[in-house]
Copies of this chain bind each other. A is one copy, B any other.
Amino acid sequence: MDFAEYFPMWDKLGPGQRERLKGAAFRRRVSGGTVLHNGSADCLGFLLLRSGQLRAYILSPEGREITVYRLFEMDVCLFSASCMMRNIQFDIVIEAEKDTELWIIPPEVYKVLMEESAPLANYTNDIMSSRFSEVMWLIEQIMWKSFDKRLAAFLLQESRLEGSEKLAITHEKISRHMGTAREVVTRMLRYFQSEGMVRLARGGIELTDVKSLGRLAEA
């Protein structure tokens, strides 16, 4: 995808602004597992995903994790430039879940352009609204949905992302996505297995009844 396509309001920027935005951007490849942004101490910049997958999560004081949202090809990442936004008072970690190719726009360049360009500021606002909606969705899931339903939905999402019904994911990793203890994940997966919905194997989970998982996730 072309650089300009990440910015639906590209035509509303002046030629000089476009030049500054594009001129400051640089490309980077990172391998899966790389932490790109680690709380408020970091401020890498505004990221455009050319390929790959990012995960944004928060950490408890005891080191527990919960995935807040994920970003895919064509998405942009705003909170890796959190230093350029006043009033951001939380620490988020952003890591590459897969090998990922990015354009990075340094925060100081983006900030200056955002301050002078209403279209760019409103675009930034749109991105924040999207993330806000994802976070509100997460609160609703945590508050109103029982763990079996959340887990079924998570397995189906993973299956869609990987394009396979055989998932190479550990119970530990699932627990870090969902903010629960590993034992809770293992217990529920065993129950799913006893109901014929999954088959558990060394280092992986096979979805054997996608329909029933779907019914459970949407119940």
Contacts and interface: CB of A to CB of B under 8 A. Distances in A.
A64 interface: yes
A93 to B, nearest CB: 12
Nearest to A66: B143
A111 B100 CA distance: 36
A124 interface: yes
B126 A87 contact: yes
Contacts of A136: 58, 68, 90, 92, 135
A143 B88 contact: no
Interface stretch (A112-120, A153-161, A188-196, A206-214): A112-120
Contact of A117 (B86, B118, B179): B118
A125 B126 contact: no
Question: Max chain B CB contacts within 10 Å: which of A116, A126, A129, A130?
Answer: A129
Nearest to A129: B87
Contacts of A131: 132
A140 interface: yes
A94 to B, nearest CB: 14
Interface string A146-173: 0000000000000000000000000000
A121 B132 contact: no
A34 interface: no
Interface string A77-93: 00000000111111010
13 contacts: A58-B139, A66-B139, A86-B126, A87-B126, A88-B129, A90-B132, A115-B118, A118-B120, A121-B122, A121-B125, A125-B125, A132-B132, A142-B142
A112 to B, nearest CB: 11
Given A131-B132, A135-B139, A144 B90 contact: no
B61 A129 contact: no
